[in-house]
Amino acid sequence: MYDESTLVKEKFQLLDENGQFDDSKGYDFDDDLLVKMYKWMVKMRSFDVRLLKMQRQGRIGTYAPFSGQEAAQIGSAVALDLKDWIFPSYREIAACVTHGLPMKQVLLYVKGHFEGGKIPKELNIFPIQIIIAAQALHATGCAWASKLKGEKQVSVSYFGDGATSEGDFHEALNFASVHKVPTIFFCQNNQWAISVPLKKQTVSSTIAQKAIAYGMKGVRVDGNDVLAVYQVMKEAVARARNGEGPTLIEAVTYRQGPHTTADDPTKYREEKEVENWINVKDPITRFRQFLEKKNLWTVSQEEALQKTCNEEIDQAIQEAEEEPLIPTYAAFDYVYAEGNTLLQEQKEEVQRNGQRREDV
């Protein structure tokens, strides 16, 4: 029989749902850092809301909204250095933009532009991974390479609770622990893998406790508390840089909207559950209350921030929508670094067919 007392059950928290800070734990944060994180959270919420509207207007393709998960993504991303690597899934737009990815690039991606998945060379962000949990293996490989080269970069793999049911997740944790590589596995447990609740995926009390089987540190944190997330991530990064191996972080949060714009969450979620997470546990509301109590934020600052965010988003949208479309046949140029005869033949065939349609 296993000893339940050893399992990771406690959820680390610094801010309660009313924005009350627990100063008994001895943590202190720079005022500039606090305001910086809040501004990122508001900007990313505004961006997410706009992208959802754009999808409904037919201006972008299928989209996976992240509202409700800003604290988890931004608190963790701010704790990283720009040299550190991020390996995102399709819901980590907030973490990627915080780490330096331009909003215009995100827009090109969701518009299906051929250049949309191209990450600027100066950024250590891998392209968005659609295959569930595959990025955990990629992060492990990158971290192993960093270790072998004597570098100090940390690789972070972001994924949802559904990914922990995939084999790639377990293989990545096992390999990372055996080789003691500098990687962090950051699980945003938003309670639902599309329509499948956590209780139907695992009988484990927590996701964080899965770290025990692989001999690594596991931490469970309130994913809607940006300060707790930042602190937990900061400590995990320090352990990784110091050669102490990987960490599995479970950030307990909630996606307020649908899994993607192709999903209808009203079919499987209770309205009261959603309302509780939005009206009581929202990460932005909680953090704003904290800042107001510290006299670091006012109504006028909020209004100015909203105006600035909207202007930045408007500009990014305009630039993305003005980007010239690339012909369909050019898709064959994005398969391999160097083309081959077969691809060239297919490209020419598509090009000829397109010209025939234009002549009709």
Degrees, nearest 5: CA angle 8-145-73? 45
Residue 268 bears catalytic tag: yes
Strand partners, 33: none
Do 195 and 267 meet the contact criterion of CB atoms below 8 Å apart? yes
Q: Are 209 and 203 in contact (CB under 8 A)?
A: no
Helices and strands (H and E) in the chain: how many = 11, 7
Helix or strand holding residue 218 (H, E): strand 217-222
C-alpha closest to that of 211 among 242, 172, 239: 172
Residues 193, 176: Cα–Cα separation, whole Å: 25
Q: SS3 for 106? A: helix
214 is catalytic: no
Burial category of 158 from C-beta neighbours within 10 Å (exposed 0-12, middle 13-18, buried 19 and up): buried
Q: Which two tokens mark 65?
A: 């909204």
Set 50, 255, 286, 288: catalytic member: 255
Nearest to 274 by CA among 289, 287, 264: 264
Catalytic residue among 91, 239, 259, 286: 259
Give how far Cα 156 sits from Cα of 80, 92, 172, 252, 281, Å. 9, 12, 12, 17, 26
In the structure encoding, which two tokens stand for residue 79, read together? 């704790």
Catalytically active residues, by annotation: 255, 259, 268
